[in-house]
Structure 1
Amino acid sequence: MSFDKENQQPPIEVSASDISPEALHGIIENFILREGTDYGREEAAFETKFKQIKKQLDNGDVKIVFDPNTETVGIVTKTEWQRMQKKK
């Protein structure tokens, strides 16, 4: 994969319902385990974090996004997604 700044493609929102339960679990797990993820003053258990992210996905507060330029998938806040849309 070569990086061509001029031919960058915009990120694509992916609906959680379009992803297998196993893949969705992996995406959420990866997001939780990423270094630097902040959950406030007190550290929460993995299962608690997982439920919080799943609920945020269900409520539309966070989005699953595929970046075709890097071929990666991540979770971003609704605000981050709106900023990405403005850059198009």
Structure 2
Amino acid sequence: MIIPFSQLNEDTLNNLIEQFVLQEGTEYGAEDVTLAEKVNEVKQQLKDGVAVVVYSELHESVHIVPADRFHSRT
């Protein structure tokens, strides 16, 4: 189920995004990108609808996933 990111507490959202960024190990090319910059990029993706926050009842967990990947499963 999609959870509107705007309904999450700001600290909770930041922690979720930080966990996502650190877990994904996203490649940003040759330039160094700070954690804060990565967090802001993911926040913008959530605002733009490119990524969504998803709660899995089965696994009782919350994840950030690309919107098209989530919608292709439903």
Question: Taking structure 1 as the reference length, what is the TM-score of the superposition?
Answer: 0.76
Q: Determine the structure 1 residue equivalent to 2:25.
A: 37
Does the residue aligned with 2:46 lie in a helix, a strand or coil?
helix
Question: Going by fraction, where is helix more abundant, 1 or 2?
Answer: 2
Deviations 1:26-50 (A, max 9, x none): 110110110x432332341101101
Question: Would you say 1:68 and 2:42 are equivalent positions?
Answer: no
- Structure 1: runs of 5 or more not aligned: 1-11
TM-superposed CA distance for 1:17, in Å, is: 1.2
Structural RMSD (CA) = 1.2
So what's the TM-score if we normalise by structure 2? 0.89
Asked if 1:18 is matched to 2:26, the reply is: no
- C-alpha distance in structure 2 between counterparts of 1:21 and 1:84, whole Å: 28
Q: What letter matches 2:49 in structure 1?
A: G
> 1:61: Cα distance to partner?
0.4
1:67, 1:84 → 2: CA distance? 13
- What count of residue pairs does the alignment treat as equivalent? 73
